[in-house]
């Protein structure tokens, strides 16, 4: 049974499904073990996917996932700390060994502490073919030390191996994703009922966070800002949220938080304290049509680069700015995960993928944006997971 201390555990059966699928793929590649590291859970979801435990606060946490047997976790804790488990501890399912070290990325001389423990475990197990997962998330000194301290080991990148499995959402994962979307709908509704002139942008975001965490969210971001009508209210981080919202003005809000179980969705809406001007309404209609155009192309087997080219062709045809960053992508335990709907993505779309579509553009007079999540079915995206109407919220 999962621990009562855990807010919203994923089931052990779901963890075992993931482990089994990965181990079958590892056997085909001849890999003895995988090494996964993360330092935070916004874009560090691989670790949680394997362990149901997020990395937080910038502290490195590393899992050694063997093709056979129990995992080893190396994480923040007392020097030389060690616990031997049997794999059935509710808070550490599938883990046989916990090792601890007080390392900090801000303290340079601790740069090899985690890697030294992981290398010890790999050497003791006699692993010779090891896959590294999400190397872009690994600290440079960590990976460098592994290579140098284990010269007889063959390391390879196993990220694609995991990505192909992780991108397809199980029924349990889809249920958790729907719960997150519903949570975010509640947050948007609560903000609409609560906000009044005189509040500063950070207070609006803080209230949204209060509501979200009260409903079971653990992590995430709240971007947005206020502005007079006729000026763009773009997404801004917290340190730029000092402005005071005044009567007759508007603000944007992006709620990109995880929900019960740690899965992310995101929703963005525009609020007006009064009547929305026609140009803002027209801007929203433009991005809603862009979203609909994108959704019509998100079918199993479709290739993201082809979708991206077609999307920008239609944006040019409508004399709207082309997308040059990212306006549609997968989501799960990571805020952004594969596949990206972009020119450089190699993973084709498939049924049971979870995607967000958030086209937007900014000019001197407004910021037009819409953002919602969808699950891809056999014929393409199903009904929008968010139930918040796609219109400007007039207060």
CATH architecture of residue range(s) 171-394? Alpha-Beta Complex (3.90)
Q: Structure tokens of 180? A: 């997150």
CATH 3.40.350.10 matches 12-166? yes
Given pLDDT bands bounded at 50, 70 and 90, which one contains residue 260? confident
Q: Structure tokens of 359? A: 């086209």
Mean pLDDT across 134-139? 92
Q: Structure tokens of 205? A: 């975001």
pLDDT for the residue numbered 17: 98
Q: How many helices (H) and strands (E) does the chain have?
A: 9, 18
pLDDT for the residue numbered 64: 98
pLDDT for the residue numbered 222: 97
Does pLDDT of 282 surpass 60?
yes
Does pLDDT of 377 surpass 60?
yes
User: Cβ of 196: how many Cβ atoms within 10 Å?
Assistant: 10
Tokens 């803080």 sit on residue: 206
Q: Mean pLDDT across the chain, nearest whole number?
A: 96
pLDDT digits (tens, 9 = 90+) for 206-239: 999 999 999 999 999 999 999 999 999 999 999 9
Tokens 């192909």 sit on residue: 164
Helix (H) / strand (E) element for 222: namely strand 220-227
Give the DSSP per-residue string, 238-305: GGG--PBP-TT-EEEEEEEEB-TTS-B--EEEEEESSPPPHHHHHHHHHHHHHHHHHHHH--TT--HH
d(CA 354, CA 350): 10
d(CA 269, CA 211): 17
Given pLDDT bands bounded at 50, 70 and 90, which one contains residue 6? confident
Given pLDDT bands bounded at 50, 70 and 90, which one contains residue 81? very high
Mean pLDDT across 299-324? 96
pLDDT for the residue numbered 5: 77
Q: Which of 169, 149, 176, 168 is nearest to 35 (CA)?
A: 149
Q: Which of 121, 132, 145 is nearest to 29 (CA)?
A: 132
Report the half-sphere exposure of 384 (CA within 13 A, side-chain side): 17
pLDDT digits (tens, 9 = 90+) for 342-362: 999 999 999 999 999 999 999
Does pLDDT of 123 surpass 60?
yes
Does pLDDT of 1 surpass 70?
no
Helix (H) / strand (E) element for 131: namely strand 129-133
User: Cβ of 299: how many Cβ atoms within 10 Å?
Assistant: 18
Tokens 């800002």 sit on residue: 225
The answer to whether 177 and 385 are in contact (CB under 8 A) is yes
Does pLDDT of 366 surpass 70?
yes
pLDDT digits (tens, 9 = 90+) for 35-46: 999 998 888 899
d(CA 126, CA 290): 53
**What percentage of the chain exceeds 90 in pLDDT?**
93
Does pLDDT of 8 surpass 90?
no
Does pLDDT of 4 surpass 90?
no
pTM attached to this predicted model: 0.95
pLDDT for the residue numbered 7: 75
202: left (phi over 0), alpha (psi -120 to 50) or beta: alpha
Tokens 């992590």 sit on residue: 219
Mean pLDDT across 282-295? 98
Cβ neighbours for 132, distance < 8 A, ≥ 6 positions apart: 34, 35, 138, 143, 155, 156, 157, 158, 159
Domain boundaries, the chain: 12-166, 171-394
**Rounded (10°) CA dihedral 78, 81, 84, 85:** 10
Helices 12-29, 159-166: crossing angle, 10 deg rounding: 140
Mean pLDDT across 279-294? 98
Does pLDDT of 116 surpass 60?
yes
User: Cβ of 208: how many Cβ atoms within 10 Å?
Assistant: 24
CA gyration radius, the chain: 23
Report the half-sphere exposure of 246 (CA within 13 A, side-chain side): 4
Strands 367-369 and 372-377: unpaired
d(CA 33, CA 131): 6
The answer to whether 55 and 44 are in contact (CB under 8 A) is yes
Does pLDDT of 281 surpass 80?
yes
pLDDT for the residue numbered 2: 58
pLDDT digits (tens, 9 = 90+) for 46-76: 999 999 999 888 899 999 999 999 999 999 9
Mean pLDDT across 103-123? 95
């Amino acid at each position: 049974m999962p621990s009562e201390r855990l807010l919203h555990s994923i089931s052990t059966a779901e963890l075992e499904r993931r482990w089994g699928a990965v181990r079958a793929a590892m056997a085909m590649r001849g890999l003895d073990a995988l090494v996964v590291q993360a330092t935070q859970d916004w874009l560090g979801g691989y670790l949680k996917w394997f362990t149901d435990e997020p990395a937080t606060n910038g502290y490195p946490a590393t899992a050694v996932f063997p093709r056979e047997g129990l995992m080893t976790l190396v994480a923040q804790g007392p020097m030389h700390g060690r616990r031997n488990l049997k794999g059935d501890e509710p808070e550490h399912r599938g883990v046989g060994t916990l090792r601890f070290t007080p390392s900090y990325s801000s303290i340079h001389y601790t740069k090899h502490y985690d890697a030294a423990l992981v290398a010890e475990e790999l050497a003791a197990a006699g692993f010779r073919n090891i896959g590294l997962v999400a190397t872009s998330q690994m600290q440079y000194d960590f990976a460098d030390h592994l290579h140098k301290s284990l010269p007889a080991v063959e390391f390879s990148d196993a990220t694609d191996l995991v990505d192909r499995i992780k991108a397809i959402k199980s029924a349990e994962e889809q249920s958790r994703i729907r719960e997150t979307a519903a949570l975010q709908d509640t947050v948007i509704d609560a903000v609409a009922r609560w906000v009044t002139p005189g509040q500063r942008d950070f207070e609006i975001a803080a209230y949204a966070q209060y509501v979200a965490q009260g409903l079971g969210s653990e992590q995430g971001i709240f971007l947005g800002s206020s502005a007079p009508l006729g000026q763009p209210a773009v997404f801004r981080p917290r340190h730029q949220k000092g402005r005071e919202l005044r009567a007759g003005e508007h603000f944007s809000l992006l709620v990109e938080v995880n929900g019960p179980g740690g899965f992310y969705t995101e929703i963005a809406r525009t609020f007006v304290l009064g009547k929305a001007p026609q140009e803002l309404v027209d801007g929203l209609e433009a991005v809603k049509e862009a979203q609909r155009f994108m959704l019509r192309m998100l079918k199993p087997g479709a290739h993201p680069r082809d979708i991206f080219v077609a999307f920008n062709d239609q944006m040019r045809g409508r004399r709207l700015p082309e997308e040059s960053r990212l306006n549609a992508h997968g989501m799960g335990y990571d805020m952004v995960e594969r596949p990206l709907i972009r020119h450089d993505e190699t993973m084709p779309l498939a049924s049971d993928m979870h995607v967000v579509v958030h086209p937007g553009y900014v000019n001197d007079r407004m910021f037009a944006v819409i953002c919602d999540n969808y699950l891809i079915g056999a014929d393409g995206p199903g009904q929008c997971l968010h139930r918040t109407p796609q219109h400007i919220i007039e207060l």
